[in-house]
Amino acid sequence: MRRSLALVLCLGISLLPLAGGLHVEAAGEQAGTPEKPIWANGATVLDLSCTSHTQTIASPDYRSSVTVVCTNHEDSDPTFALQILAPNGHRSEMPLDQGAHELLWAPNSNSFFVNGGTSAYAGFFVSVYLIEPSTGVRKETITGAAQKDMVSSFPPCKAWNRDENICGRIADDPEYNMSALAWTDDSSAVYVFAEVPCSSTYGGIMCQVLGYELSVPTGRILKRLSARATKEQWSKYTAWEIRIPEPPKYGPAHVTW
C-alpha cells in the first residue's frame, strides 16, 4: 500500500522538528500500525493493514462502534470505509478519507473525529462524524471559519519572500493544516491545532500556529489561542511536543540573496 507508507513516513519527517521523531514500523510496501497517534494523544490509530482481522473501535458508552472496512482491488491500492453501528442497531458505511490516520470518540458517544494528512507538509485535516438516530450518520467539515481566520491572522500576500504566483489562491481558498486534539468535556466542541504549512511557498508566515475551539457541528470559533497559549493549555492533548515558531515576517516577495 504505497500511499499509506509514503504518508506515514512523510508525516514523520514533517513533524520531526515538532515532535522530535516518530516511531513507525513498516514491512515491505505495507505500513504497520504506528504505536501511537500523530496528533491527538487520546485517539486510536486506524488499522489500515488490510489483514483479515478487522478493527472495531467502541464508543465510550459501548452502545456504538466504528469498524474499519478494507476493500482490495486487483490493479490498485485498497480503499477503506468506516462502518458505523448506531445505538438503535442501524449500520451506516461511509468512505474513509485518503490519508486518514486516527479516530477519537466524543465523551457523549454521539460523534467522533478522524485526523489525517495528504502530504509531507500540507493537507492535514479533521473530519467530524455525527450519529443521529433519525437520519443516520453525517460527516461535517468544521474548519472553514478557522481557515479564514488563519488567512486574516497570517495574510499570505504580505508574507516576506512569498510566492506571488500562488498567494492569492491561498488567500481565496486556504488549505492551512488543521488537526483535532481533543473534545471538550461536554462534547459540544473540538480543540483544533492550526498551522501554516512549513513550506517556503508561504515565505515569512510558514509554520505559524494558532489554536481554535470550534463548535460542533457549525464550526463557529468559540475560542482562539496564540501559539504560546495553545502550548500551555493544550499540550496535554497532543501526541507530540508543541514548539512555538519564530514571529511571522512580512515584506517583499522573491528576496534575492
Residue 128 has pLDDT above 90, yes or no: yes
Instruction: Evaluate whether residue 254 is within a structural domain.
Output: no
Percentage of residues in the chain having pLDDT higher than 70: 84
Residue 72 pLDDT class (50, 70, 90 cuts): confident
Strands 100-105 and 91-95, bridge-based pairing: unpaired
Domain coverage including residue 134: 2-237
pLDDT at 35: 65
Instruction: Evaluate whether residue 250 is within a structural domain.
Output: no
Burial of 48 (0-12, 13-18, 19+ CB in 10 A): buried
Residue 52 pLDDT class (50, 70, 90 cuts): confident
Instruction: Evaluate whether residue 243 is within a structural domain.
Output: no
Instruction: Evaluate whether residue 27 is within a structural domain.
Output: yes
**For the chain, what is the radius of gyration of the CA atoms?**
19
Burial of 173 (0-12, 13-18, 19+ CB in 10 A): exposed
**Length of the chain counted residue by residue:** 257
Q: Is the peptide bond before 217 cis (omega within 30 degrees of 0)?
A: yes
Lowest mean pLDDT of 24-28, 69-73, 76-80, 176-180, name the range.
24-28
Domain count, the chain: 1
Instruction: Evaluate whether residue 242 is within a structural domain.
Output: no
Report which of 42, 49, 43 is spatially closest to residue 24, judged by C-alpha positions: 49
Instruction: Evaluate whether residue 138 is within a structural domain.
Output: yes
CA distance 107 to 182: 10
Instruction: Evaluate whether residue 164 is within a structural domain.
Output: yes
Instruction: Evaluate whether residue 102 is within a structural domain.
Output: yes
